[in-house]
């Protein structure tokens, strides 16, 4: 399982496969005519294809919430609680805007949640286009906050508001990195 490629390599390969045919066609048009101009198939209008592809991958600092990720590796989901006012934050954040101080403790997220609402994503974003349809839900946790995550369920018709769901942590199939999801309790 761990030897399998992760989404980091798999996704660009998938995207290159999707656009491969069109890019080969544009390459030959540009070689022949000297210009990357094609006819829009919908309207016939001439279109310039940007020859400068811009691939963006952001780098996001996680220093202050590192315990969330070390928790994931250990199979525990953790979040922050303000030592002054007791507010629990999910997603975890290191500052309490109520108390205007940085004095958080890390607590484990425990217990079964209750389903609030959900959707099934059918038309997917480009960077999820390698995956089957997925169910995303918002779940109310007993510690008093909501979590948004995928719900693993064979038949989404069985979902209903208030349904009890259990939090799971592990490597996501086909993407091979650690994340969390809900399953029926």
Q: Where does this chain bind other proteins (CB under 8 A)?
A: 40, 42-43, 45, 47, 50, 60, 90-91, 116-129, 131, 134, 136, 138, 145-150, 156, 160-161, 179
33 or 119: whose CB is closer to other proteins? 119
Helix (H) or strand (E) holding 61: none
Compute the least distance from the CB of residue 108 to other proteins, in Å: 18
- How is 158-172 classified by DSSP, letter by letter? G--TT-EEEEEEEEP
79 or 104: whose CB is closer to other proteins? 79
Compute the least distance from the CB of residue 136 to other proteins, in Å: 5
71 or 118: whose CB is closer to other proteins? 118
Q: What is the three-class DSSP state of 2? A: coil
Compute the least distance from the CB of residue 125 to other proteins, in Å: 4
Whether 104 and 96 have beta carbons less than 8 Å apart is answered as yes
29 or 136: whose CB is closer to other proteins? 136
Residue 47 Cα distances to 21, 40, 43, 50, 51, angstroms: 18, 6, 10, 9, 12
31 or 42: whose CB is closer to other proteins? 42
Q: Which residues on adjacent β-strands are paired with residue 118?
A: 137
Whether 147 and 123 have beta carbons less than 8 Å apart is answered as no
Place of tokens 């403790």: 105
Which segments of 34-95 does DSSP mark as H helices, in order?
Answer: 66-74
Q: What is the three-class DSSP state of 60? A: coil
Compute the least distance from the CB of residue 18 to other proteins, in Å: 8
Compute the least distance from the CB of residue 102 to other proteins, in Å: 20
């Amino acid at each position: 399982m761990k030897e399998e490629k992760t989404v980091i390599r798999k996704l660009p390969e998938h995207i290159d496969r999707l656009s491969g045919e069109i890019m080969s066609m544009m390459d030959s048009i540009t070689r022949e005519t000297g210009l990357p101009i094609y006819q829009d198939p919908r309207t016939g209008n001439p279109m310039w294809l940007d020859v400068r592809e811009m691939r963006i991958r952001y780098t996001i600092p996680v220093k202050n919430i590192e315990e969330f990720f070390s928790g994931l590796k250990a199979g525990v989901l953790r979040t922050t609680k303000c030592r002054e006012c007791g507010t629990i934050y999910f997603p975890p954040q290191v500052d309490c805007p109520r108390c205007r101080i940085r004095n958080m403790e890390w607590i484990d997220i425990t217990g079964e949640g209750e389903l609030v609402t959900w959707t099934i994503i059918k038309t997917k974003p480009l960077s999820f286009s390698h995956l089957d349809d997925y169910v995303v839900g918002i779940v109310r946790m007993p510690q008093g906050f909501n979590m948004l995550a995928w719900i693993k369920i064979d038949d989404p018709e069985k979902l209903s508001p208030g349904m009890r769901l259990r939090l799971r942590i592990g490597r996501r199939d086909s993407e091979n990195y650690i994340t969390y999801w809900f399953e029926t309790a």
